[in-house]
Amino acid sequence: MFIDEVECNYSVQIKDTEFPICDGKGVKIDRELYVLDWCAGGIVDTFHILIKIGDFEAQTLVAAPCRV
């Protein structure tokens, strides 16, 4: 992999933290991505991604037209 035009060993580590929401109808996940540079010997960048999963909209019922 080449980043900044320098050949080195990079890797990505992922850490997820889950939070229940809406009385258990959904979940939020705070995903942290750490980019590690093994040549530099540490984390070179961190990204946070917020993921929201759930059923948040009630279904709507549409009546069919009445035929006589």
Range of the domain at 43: 2-54
Where does residue 21 fall: left (phi above 0), alpha (psi -120 to 50 degrees), or beta otherwise? Answer: beta
Task: Identify the pLDDT of residue 11.
Answer: 87
> Does the residue 67 lie in any domain?
no
Q: How much of the chain, in percent, has pLDDT values that exceed 90?
A: 32
Cα–Cα distances in Å, from 2 out to 8, 9, 17, 26? 7, 9, 30, 39
Whether 38 is in a domain gets the answer yes
pLDDT at 60: 83
Task: Compute the residue count for the chain.
Answer: 68
For residue 68, being part of any structural domain is answered with no
Q: What is the pLDDT of residue 5?
A: 60
- The tally of domains found in the chain comes to 1
**Residue 29 near residue 50, CB atoms below 8 Å:** yes
Question: What is the DSSP track for 42-55?
Answer: EEEEEEEEEEEEE-
Residue 36 lies in a domain: yes
pLDDT surpasses 90 at 14: yes
Quick one: pLDDT band at residue 30, thresholds 50, 70, 90? very high
